[in-house]
Amino acid sequence: MVHTDKEMKMNSRIKNFHSLTMNERKKIIAQKLGMSLKEIDDALGCKKLNTCALDKMIENVIGIWHLPYAVCPNFLINNKDYLVPMVGYEPSVVAAASKAAKIIREHGGFKAKADPPIMIAQVILYDVAKPNKAKKIVSENKNQIIKQGNRALPNLIKRGGGIKNITVVDYPAGTGYLAIELEIDVCDAMGANIVNTIAEYASPTIADLTKEKILMCILTNYAVKRKATSEFSIPVCQLSTKKISSEEFAKRIVSASRFAGLDAKRACTQNKGGFNGMDAVAMALGIDCQALEAAGHCYATSSGYGPLCKFQVRDDILFGKIELPIAAGIVGGISQTHPGVKFSLKLLRVESAKELAMVIASAGLASTTAALGALVTEGIQRSHMKLHFRKKL
């Protein structure tokens, strides 16, 4: 995806964006992207999605369910500006994320990173009588299995992807299970179809070598090899509110974070606050929200269910950080057919799946920070519910 110098220099900070009318916002975005208002309306109104295209997305289609499409400004990630697309129906999510991003932006923005796009496919054997023997055979024939699996998608191999490693996972004696895990570089795709295809292509070779039965071949949505992190740091003295001091505000944020580490019920709700932002971005980009949440909640159980975002104060600086597996792609699937997703990619200007994962993680950190800030000061109802009341007027 190639961008012009003008696009690369685009500033995501738009003054009073929330107070503008819808048409005024569209005009600003159209100008920044070098598009006409009609092009934006066509992309977001789904006029180009005919009945044939819709029928190919899911089954039994009878129409389109519309959701609001918003733009969340103020995101500065690794010194690059982003206008972040968000799709959803819950009030306060966009406003809260934008507000937190603005404060974080004023103090250097988010610092994010992401692992290479490695997905795991599991070829699962069952009724395995001699697991140690099967493990040894797989280990001794790794190269043959990799070569066979990679034949499934030669174009992926040309782009530098394909199986990079194989590990074998066994289970307690007597269960009879053995999982052959293929670690696959999916390049800039989310990768579900890729890893499933490669696993099914490699499985006959595994069965032939081990003389064991294949139960199933399927990716795991727990993309633990594909983590993304985002963090920020803000001087405590910059956190004062009308009601409490900056020191007390920071103390409450950290205390709330610590409590989430002790109580799974609170951690679950805090994590949901992060997914408010992450899911909204995922929806705008046609990314599998269920896979995103499944991986995130699974990762939260690494040492007893806990929060994905953590906060602490060191040397009078408030630090916030999020870490979780994120399988997100910018090629393949719906990104090739849905005009709204194409528009989101143009708006976001990401160059790789890794960069997209960093944006999603940053949206999750912004959303969590904003939610905690409201909870420990004025309470969630005052900030959240006034937007619910607004939509009823």
**Residues annotated catalytic, as ranges:** 90, 272, 288, 384
Fill in the DSSP letter of residue 384: I
Task: State the residue for tokens 């969340």.
Answer: 72
Would you say 159 and 187 are in contact if contact means Cβ atoms under 8 Å apart? Answer: yes
- What type of residue sits at position 214? I
End-to-end CA distance of the chain: 43
For residues 216 and 124, give the distance between their C-alpha atoms in angstroms, rounded to a whole number: 6
DSSP state of 18: G
d(CA 97, CA 109): 13
In terms of Cα–Cα distance, which of 344, 348, 302, 345 is closest to 325? 302
Task: List Cβ<8 Å contacts ≥24 apart for 240-243.
Answer: 241/377, 243/377, 243/378
Total Cβ atoms within 10 A of residue 183: 16
What's 302's DSSP letter? B
SS3 label, residue 37? helix
Q: Supply φ then ψ for residue 303, to 5 degrees.
A: -140, 55
Angle 265-268-274 from CA coordinates, rounded to 5°: 145
CA distance 152 to 293: 29
Q: What are the start-end ranges of the H helices in the chain?
A: 5-8, 22-33, 37-44, 51-57, 93-105, 131-140, 142-150, 154-158, 192-210, 246-262, 264-284, 289-299, 339-348, 353-375, 380, 386-392
